Amino acid sequence: MTAMKPSHRKFSAARRAIAQRGLSLVELMVGLTIGLVLTLGLFTLISSQSQAFKVQDDFARIQENATLALRQIGDSVRMAGFYGYAMDPGSIDTAIGGVATTTDCGSGANPPSGNWALAANTPLQGFTGLTPVTVNAMLPCILATNFVAGPILVTRSAGYRIPDTAPVGDLTADLAAQTNSATTIYLQADPNNGLIFYGANFAALKAAGTTRSTATGNDIDIFEYRTHVYYIRPCSRPAAGVACAATDDNGQPIPTLVRQELIGSAMTEAPLAEGVELIDFQFGIDAQPAVGPNGVLGDGVPETFTATPTAAQWPNVVAVKVTVLVRSPTLTSQHDDSGKTYDLNGDNVVDFACTAGVNCMYKRKVFSQTFQVRNIAQRRGG
């Protein structure tokens, strides 16, 4: 066996002595300090990552809600004035089908006072200057508590086409097979004339020779009839039924883009996109003079944009620029929006600036898109 050198014996003895006596108070404090620094660094990293995730999540939800809002409005704008194969919105007969809408949006100040949703000759319309105090008198389907002061957009069009299955050319059974078809309002039109009717009345109207058909006797396509009214509601989920209140959305009401849509014979409110705090509509007017012997006006291209077209200009609206201010659905304590102002329509006038306190703890972003009113633009373009 090899003998241990004296230096090795001394080192081993020193290690045993240290092991026996343990750590000194100074060494323990140094170790604890290093451990606390490392722990603090770890928590700082976790907090930073969590904050970064929340920021990314907030902006992702803002973008998703803005995309949804613009897509819904854009789809309605593009379809406005589409009434099957009708060449002229004024050719749609709204009386022959025996349709009568309820909880309608018509009033003495907003004619027609009855069957307002069926005013097919006005495929696109806007309202400005309304407040929660005045909106219900103008559009009775909108509750005062469910309206944020701002513009309103109305579109009317045909929607979903009823599929033509066997026997091809006869839509009687196909129409009856649709969900709630008896009380749903439909539209059928050829290039010269059209009618709006309840699904339950189609068979009788067809037997009377009132419905539209081709030269070979086949039924012309049938579409659901649609009326949409877009505006902002001060809450997302009303806790007490249909009316918004300050206690909604866990005490922090979320402004929400909603629309009134025709369900059966009644206009019904449906939420679309949360966080839409403000909206602006600019309507593109085709101001070109009359051309051609057929009376077609203009070229279908807007020359000017305005938020308030005159009664004579509404039939000439061929584009709509939609701008929305969307906020995050939840508060961020580290965020302060008080130094920012928002101009939605580019006129150098502040349309929104947050007030002090909680209202400034939301992230916000403006989104804008312009949509062509295809059916009106194409008719005017000849």
The 10s digit of each residue's pLDDT in 273-330 is 999 999 999 999 998 765 554 555 678 899 999 999 999 999 999 999 999 999 998 8
Answer whether residue 16 is part of any domain: no
The structure's pTM equals: 0.85
Answer whether residue 148 is part of any domain: yes
Q: How far apart are CA 98 and CA 267, in angstroms?
A: 18
Cβ neighbours for 37, distance < 8 A, ≥ 6 positions apart: none
Answer whether residue 4 is part of any domain: no
Q: What is the pLDDT of residue 156?
A: 97
Full residue range of the structural domain in which residue 326 is found: 57-381
The neighbouring-strand residues paired with 268 are 261
Answer whether residue 29 is part of any domain: no
Strand positions, DSSP E, the chain: 92-97, 124-127, 152-161, 185-189, 194-198, 222-233, 256-263, 266-274, 276-285, 304-306, 317-327, 364-372
Answer whether residue 374 is part of any domain: yes
- Judged against a pLDDT cut of 90, whether residue 81 lies above it is answered with yes
Q: How far apart are CA 117 and CA 105, in angstroms?
A: 7
Cβ neighbours for 155, distance < 8 A, ≥ 6 positions apart: 76, 77, 79, 80, 123, 124, 226, 227, 228, 230
CA distances from 116 to 3, 72, 104, 269 (A): 111, 22, 6, 16
Q: How many domains does the chain have?
A: 1
Band (pLDDT 50/70/90 cuts) for residue 26 is: confident
Answer whether residue 49 is part of any domain: no
Q: How far apart are CA 329 and CA 44, in angstroms?
A: 26
State percent of the chain over pLDDT 90. Answer: 64
CA atoms within 13 A on the CB side of 90: 1
- Judged against a pLDDT cut of 80, whether residue 212 lies above it is answered with yes
Band (pLDDT 50/70/90 cuts) for residue 263 is: very high
- Judged against a pLDDT cut of 60, whether residue 4 lies above it is answered with no
Answer whether residue 146 is part of any domain: yes
Answer whether residue 63 is part of any domain: yes
Q: How far apart are CA 319 and CA 303, in angstroms?
A: 10
